[in-house]
Amino acid sequence: MNGMKLLAMLLLALPAVCLGSSPPSPDIVHNTNYVEEAPWEENLASLPAYPKDENLLPFRVSSATNNKFMIDSASITVGTDKVVRYTVVIESPRGARTVNYEGLRCETMERKIYGFGQADGKWTENKRAAWDSIKLRSLLSYHKALFEDIFCDVGIAVWSPEEAVRKLKQSVGGY
């Protein structure tokens, strides 16, 4: 092979060698799959109808408490903001009841109380409603049980109210 042909072959191969040996310049790389996520924005939550006993589904919290914990199946929603909202009813062994309308954010392990149920079957809006961390160490935390076992068991929110109801029933051996 003469020198001219060898030089021509080397010059033709040079671009392929150069491209394979170093990354392209950052100012010409364009990632068309990158989509910037908008900041999280909470949906407006309105208080639901007061719970009816026939819609209450029990769930287990811990053997460390004698209280009975129930979710109103008719109140469960899963918002586009990925917040699971529900009414919880806590009943003491003597029959006293606490009724709250709450939200749970699986992504951040937070909870929020939107309203408090009154004995007359009406709601009082929580004027100081704010997101608060779920305490995962407490055996008495029903939020822990809802987060770990029902609404966020794989770190993401259930997809629908129907899925939440199914998981509630499974949590106590309902089916």
Supply the CATH number for residue 130's domain: 2.40.128
pLDDT of residue 67: 93
pLDDT of residue 53: 96
**Rounded Cα gap, residues 96 and 63, in angstroms:** 19
pLDDT of residue 168: 87
Answer yes or no: is 158 within a domain: yes
Q: Is the dihedral of CA 155, 157, 159, 162 positive or negative?
A: positive
Answer yes or no: is 127 within a domain: yes
pTM for this model (two decimals): 0.74
pLDDT of residue 18: 46
Answer yes or no: is 146 within a domain: yes
Domain count, the chain: 1
**Rounded Cα gap, residues 62 and 86, in angstroms:** 20
Residue 3, classed as helix, strand or coil, is helix
Q: pLDDT by residue (tens digit) across 60-80?
A: 888 888 999 999 999 999 999
Do residues 56 and 136 lie in contact, with contact meaning Cβ atoms separated by under 8 Å? no
* Token reading at 106: 């699986």
Among 154, 174, 169, smallest CA distance to 71 is for 169
Answer yes or no: is 41 within a domain: no
The residue ranges of the chain whose pLDDT is under 70 are: 1-36, 139, 155, 173-175
| DSSP output for 47-66 | --PPP-GGGEEEE---TT--
| DSSP output for 85-111 | EEEEEEE-TTS-EEEEEEEEETTTTEE
Q: Is 132 exposed, middle or buried (0-12, 13-18, 19+ CB in 10 A)?
A: exposed
pLDDT of residue 77: 95
DSSP state of 78: E
Answer yes or no: is 47 within a domain: no
Which domain range does residue 76 map to? 53-171
Helical H segments across the chain, by residue range: 3-21, 142-145, 161-171
Answer yes or no: is 37 within a domain: no
Burial 30-59 (b: 16+ CB within 10 A, else e): eeeeeeeeeeeeeeebebbebbeeebbbbb
Answer yes or no: is 29 within a domain: no
pLDDT of residue 175: 43
